[in-house]
Chains A and B, each alone.
Chain A
């Protein structure tokens, strides 16, 4: 079983990606959370919230467009 939790926030307006990310961070403190967003603003916001929660964040561009954030505990 994959240890990843995927949060697909692509296409959602501010601040929904941040809210979904924060909820996932609270529910799954031990697991890697993958956040998918499609705007750079959402990427930056989710990254900030995750870093504030003590996560190590790796950001990458998705080949199909948008961004992927790996939030590591």
Chain B
């Protein structure tokens, strides 16, 4: 193993990765991204789904280059370090639905674990019930894991399989750059998709190249260091291992300091950017997300990074996230600044039932 590889898997590798992500994520806000949303893997997937017309919420439609960079940066690292290993076969359809329900839950909170930590670092105290929910959801997932929960084993797959999701990301990048209009309005004039928000969070974005390069860098570093915002809590509960947690704590600290410097640390409950103050549904939404991420083996960022390593099952989770984003908005489940959507609580309830059934009944069929 090279010295750089050894560094990245060391304790300091996790800390440096988290610290760099915290700084870059906090800097993406003054560079143009929405408030406390320098990086939000679920929100960015939702925006990309909207740009493709998978939902028609006009304020959250934009192909975010950061998540494209996540996959391609991880792909690059995996290729360079001979860790690109196409694989699949570990309950792909279940992973699809876990991705869907994780997204539905996260959009009730208005952010994935990445954004929960970034919201905390920006002084948005509504992140606290979200993080409490996240820990509870992960804790429930750990209970299932201890009882023998498993989605079964992956198997090596042909090389081509590993390129499918990176290929999709290249297509998204081309669509972002060329911004074609495939739709027609009532008068037959060209219209989206591809949709780009004119107002709202979807209209707030850092320059394309900046977003893409930061995404690539984060993808590269996270692939090397195995950064995971859910594994951080899970590993602490399950084996008392704080390795990944150190990375997340570093992220919170550096994002907080960067926010202080850029004047974006605004403590309080009310009036926070792209946030609502409903304690219960901030907690419950993120609880569902934490459970679904744990059952799938990692946070949304990690699912993107593993997709870059050729993991087709993580790719199915990512596609489930796109689908969940579409359903979340078309079925009025996603929250807004006003509070939970009318069907958000129902969506969370259905998701929890699904995840609990999966947690109880998915077992490895037989030992090899």
User: Which A residues form the contact surface with B (CB < 8 A)?
Assistant: 8, 10-16, 18-19, 22, 38-41, 44-45, 48-49, 52, 65
B231 within 8 A of A: yes
- The contact sample of 25 A-B pairs, CB cut-off 8 A, is A8-B367, A8-B368, A11-B152, A12-B153, A13-B90, A13-B151, A13-B154, A14-B297, A15-B235, A15-B239, A18-B235, A18-B238, A19-B239, A22-B239, A38-B156, A39-B85, A39-B309, A40-B81, A44-B9, A44-B226, A45-B226, A45-B241, A49-B241, A65-B85, A65-B156
What are the residues of chain A within 8 A of B228 when measuring CB–CB?
Answer: 14
Closest to A14 in B: B297
Taking a contact as CB atoms closer than 8 A, the residue among A11, A15, A19 that contacts B154 in the complex is: A11
Asked whether B85 lies within 8 Å of A38 as measured between CB atoms, the reply is yes
CA distance A19 to B309 in the complex (A): 23
Count chain B residues whose beta carbon lies closer than 8 angstroms to a beta carbon of A. Answer: 32
Asked whether B241 lies within 8 Å of A52 as measured between CB atoms, the reply is yes
CA distance A44 to B85 in the complex (A): 16
Asked whether A11 lies within 8 Å of B90 as measured between CB atoms, the reply is yes
CA distance A48 to B231 in the complex (A): 14
Closest to A42 in B: B226
Asked whether B145 lies within 8 Å of A16 as measured between CB atoms, the reply is yes
Interfacial residues of chain B within 118-150, with CB under 8 A of chain A in the complex: 145-146, 150
CA distance A37 to B202 in the complex (A): 41
Top-4 shortest CB links A-B: A11-B153, A13-B297, A11-B154, A41-B226
Closest to B294 in A: A15
Taking a contact as CB atoms closer than 8 A, the residue among B83, B87, B145, B367 that contacts A15 in the complex is: B145
With contacts A11-B155, A16-B150 known, is A40 near B83, CB below 8 A?
yes
Closest to B367 in A: A8
What are the residues of chain B within 8 A of A16 when measuring CB–CB?
Answer: 145, 150
CA distance A44 to B5 in the complex (A): 11
B55 within 8 A of A: no
Closest to A47 in B: B9
CA distance A16 to B145 in the complex (A): 8
With contacts A15-B145, A15-B234, A41-B226 known, is A10 near B153, CB below 8 A?
yes
B292 within 8 A of A: no
What are the residues of chain B within 8 A of A49 when measuring CB–CB?
Answer: 239, 241
Asked whether A14 lies within 8 Å of B239 as measured between CB atoms, the reply is no
CA distance A22 to B234 in the complex (A): 15
Asked whether A19 lies within 8 Å of B238 as measured between CB atoms, the reply is yes
B217 within 8 A of A: no
B298 within 8 A of A: yes
